[in-house]
């Protein structure tokens, strides 16, 4: 005979004891001890459930399947539920909320890592959502909907699974020893470098890369390999590093934000020595960073990827412009923040921050100030408007308390560098005047902007609506061709995240750089 157990609203626990015993809560008649529930989210859920057990056998099985799939999110190194077979109702609820939080908002709190982090975070009532999913029996669908749903997240997820699988079966990467190699040098490390460039797609693959590198007369791996070539023997002399190899290496250096000089130096070797496990590690961090972000960014916005030193301008949800930027050097990092542009400033002056005035400029004299069109005003050094101004001819004023903004530069040649972590924290924009013209046209202030620009004086042009700017740090992302692209970790911000995701502590693989001029 069917029987009914009363349960609080929101939990459909009444079942037929004979026909559907697997769908009843395992301990439905057992009250949950309030003292056993310590976290606020679990307490909210059990309070709504009348302090009764909430897990049915069907939901337990569904949650086990959900956790078994967590590698899709780069969370497979975290044991959210240590021993499912031995877990009680409260332990399972806590694990479900922990995993839901990792998917919905990230496992790591970025505010614990960064002194400045103002990017909007997702807001989700996890306790209420879990309660509904348990009542409806649709845990799998609920968990699936918590992580980002965009194409980039899926691409990074797929890449993480692929590199993780490769790292599991591949032999450990034998590190290429240190030492500089230039075109014309002979070096025993050249065959290994050629293999790495082929594997990464920077050189076309051939049947025997060692044989190609072994030919001292035709060591160009871009040319067809003669059939008579034989594999490299241990007794043969070091191999020639050719211009063709250097040109291929420049592609790798450019992609990773290293000075693209074709020279095999310390930073390049760090990249060449990366294995599948290293790339999986970076991808897991990339997935985590995206879980920190709100799922509905403004349709019209500017995203600056400080790790890759790139800017993308979105208009009504579509990318309408992208260009290079120069961002903060290591030690003067451009912070992760959200801040809107509210006005354009034509012919700006630059008030030198006290940190620079008392640092790099501590001993400058009157001649230096005059040469750089600078004057003293109330104890502050101010650079007058003009083409030599450190801000260039336009500043994009942003509303934040960090004195961070976008601007032009008097040194446009720096955009030709692949390594562009060179500023004191602000963001220099390639062809900033062209970008300002684009924004002015889109916002309907073209005439006011052109008049201000032609005046030669510092002039403010308010925008009728603010344009949101997000300063992000993504050293793994999907490029314009749909390929998952990797960059170095110039600020060293990945390691503490990776460690909290269960990865071993790694040696820093940072691209070192220094600001090469006095400017923001």
Q: Tell me the CATH number at 496.
A: 2.40.440.10
**What is the gyration radius of the CA atoms in the chain, in angstroms?**
29
Q: Look at residue 339 and give its three-state secondary structure.
A: coil
In a domain, 128, yes or no: yes
Domain co-membership, 67 together with 207: no
At 219, is the pLDDT very low, low, confident or very high (cuts 50, 70, 90)? very low
Has residue 48 got a pLDDT over 50? yes
312 DSSP assignment: E
User: Residue 242 sits in which domain range?
Assistant: 186-273
SS (H, E, C) 244-304: HHHHHHHHHHHHCCCCCCCCECHHHHHHHCCCHHHHHHHHHHHHHHHHCCCCCCCCCEEEE
Domain co-membership, 85 together with 209: no
Predicted pLDDT of residue 455 = 96
Domain co-membership, 114 together with 217: no
In a domain, 518, yes or no: no
Distance of CA 516 to the CA centre of its chain: 25
**Chain segment 353-389, per-residue pLDDT in tens:** 898 899 888 888 899 999 999 999 999 999 999 999 9
**Regarding predicted confidence, which is higher, 212 or 301?**
301
Domain co-membership, 355 together with 457: yes
Domain co-membership, 117 together with 33: yes
Domain count, the chain: 3
52-58: average pLDDT: 95
Name the domain boundary from 144, 167, 197.
144
CA distance 437 to 443: 10
Q: Within 10 Å of residue 492's Cβ, how many Cβ atoms?
A: 13
Burial class (CB in 10 A: 0-12, 13-18, 19+), 362: exposed
Per-chain mean pLDDT for the chain: 87
Instruction: For the chain, report the end-to-end CA distance as a whole number of angstroms.
Output: 78
At 206, is the pLDDT very low, low, confident or very high (cuts 50, 70, 90)? low
Q: Look at residue 418 and give its three-state secondary structure.
A: coil
Predicted pLDDT of residue 170 = 74
Domain co-membership, 96 together with 221: no
- Cα torsion 401, 406, 408, 411: sign: positive
Domain co-membership, 306 together with 435: yes
Q: Which two tokens stand for residue 368?
A: 């230096």
35 DSSP assignment: G
Name the domain boundary from 144, 168, 195.
144
Out of 421, 424, 426, 474, the active site residue is 426
Domain co-membership, 303 together with 269: no
In a domain, 251, yes or no: yes
114 is catalytic: no
Domain co-membership, 307 together with 240: no
**Regarding predicted confidence, which is higher, 252 or 199?**
252
Residue 401 bridge partners (DSSP) = none
In a domain, 429, yes or no: yes
In a domain, 167, yes or no: no
**Regarding predicted confidence, which is higher, 519 or 292?**
292
174-193: average pLDDT: 93
The count of C-alpha atoms lying within 13 angstroms of the C-alpha of 374, restricted to the half-sphere facing its C-beta, is 24
Is 512:330 a contact under the CB 8 Å cutoff? yes
407 is catalytic: yes
The count of C-alpha atoms lying within 13 angstroms of the C-alpha of 278, restricted to the half-sphere facing its C-beta, is 18
In a domain, 62, yes or no: yes
Domain co-membership, 73 together with 117: yes
Domain co-membership, 191 together with 47: no
CA distance 243 to 325: 29
pTM reported for the whole predicted model: 0.85
Q: Which ranges of 305-431 would DSSP assign to H, the alpha helix?
A: 354-357, 366-371
**Chain segment 309-351, per-residue pLDDT in tens:** 999 999 999 999 999 999 999 999 999 999 999 999 999 999 9
Domain co-membership, 243 together with 314: no
CA distance 133 to 96: 11
CA distance 503 to 271: 19
CA distance 503 to 118: 26
Predicted pLDDT of residue 171 = 74
In a domain, 170, yes or no: no
Out of 407, 421, 424, 474, the active site residue is 407
User: Which among 370, 352, 350 is positioned nearest to 361, based on CA atoms?
Assistant: 352
Predicted pLDDT of residue 520 = 80
In a domain, 344, yes or no: yes
CA distance 260 to 189: 20
């Amino acid at each position: 005979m069917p029987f009914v157990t009363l349960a609080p609203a929101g939990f459909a626990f009444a079942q037929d004891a004979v026909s559907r015993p697997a769908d009843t809560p395992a301990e439905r008649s057992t009250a949950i001890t309030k003292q056993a529930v310590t976290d606020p989210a679990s307490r909210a859920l059990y309070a709504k459930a009348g302090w009764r057990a909430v897990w049915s056998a069907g939901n337990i099985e569904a949650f086990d399947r959900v956790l078994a799939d967590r590698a899709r999110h780069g969370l497979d190194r975290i044991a959210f539920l240590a021993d499912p077979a031995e877990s009680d109702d409260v332990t399972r609820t806590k694990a479900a909320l922990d995993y839901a939080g990792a998917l919905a908002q990230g496992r790591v709190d970025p505010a614990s890592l960064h002194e400045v982090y103002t990017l909007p975070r997702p807001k989700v009532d996890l306790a209420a959502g879990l309660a509904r999913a348990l009542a409806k029996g649709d845990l799998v669908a609920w968990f699936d909907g918590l992580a980002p749903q965009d194409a980039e997240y899926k691409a990074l997820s797929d890449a993480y699974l692929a590199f993780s699988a490769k790292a599991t079966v591949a032999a450990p990467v034998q590190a290429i020893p240190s030492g500089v190699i230039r075109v014309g040098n002979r070096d025993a490390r050249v065959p290994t470098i050629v293999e790495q460039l082929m594997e990464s797609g920077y050189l076309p693959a051939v049947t025997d890369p060692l044989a190609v590198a072994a030919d001292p007369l035709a060591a160009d791996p871009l040319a067809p390999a003669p059939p008579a070539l034989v594999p490299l023997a241990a007794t043969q002399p070091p191999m020639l590093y050719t211009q063709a190899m250097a040109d291929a290496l420049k592609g790798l250096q450019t992609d990773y934000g290293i000075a693209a000089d074709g020279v095999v130096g310390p930073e390049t070797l760090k990249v060449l020595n990366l294995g599948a496990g290293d790339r999986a590690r970076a991808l897991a961090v990339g997935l985590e960073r995206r879980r920190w972000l709100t799922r509905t960014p403004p349709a019209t916005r500017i995203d600056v990827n400080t790790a890759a030193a790139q800017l993308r301008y979105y208009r009504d949800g579509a990318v309408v412009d992208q260009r290079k930027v120069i961002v903060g050097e290591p030690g003067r990092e451009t912070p992760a923040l959200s801040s809107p542009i509210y006005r354009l400033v034509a012919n700006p002056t630059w008030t030198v921050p006290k940190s620079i005035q008392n640092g790099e400029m501590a001993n400058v004299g009157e001649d230096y100030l005059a040469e750089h069109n600078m004057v003293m005003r109330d104890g502050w050094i101010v650079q007058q408007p003009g083409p030599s101004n450190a801000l260039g001819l336009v500043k994009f004023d942003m509303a934040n308390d960090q004195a961070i903004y976008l601007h032009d530069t008097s040194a446009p040649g720096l955009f030709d560098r692949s390594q562009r972590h060179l500023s004191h924290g602000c963001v220099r924009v390639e062809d900033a005047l062209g970008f300002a013209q684009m924004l002015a046209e889109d916002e309907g202030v073209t005439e006011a902007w052109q008049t201000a620009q032609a005046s030669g004086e510092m002039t403010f042009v308010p925008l009728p609506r603010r344009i949101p700017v997000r300063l992000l740090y993504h050293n793994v992302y999907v490029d314009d061709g749909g390929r998952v692209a990797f960059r170095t970790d110039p600020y060293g911000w990945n390691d503490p995240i990776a460690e909290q995701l269960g990865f071993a502590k790694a040696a820093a693989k940072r691209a070192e750089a220094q600001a090469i001029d006095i400017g923001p």
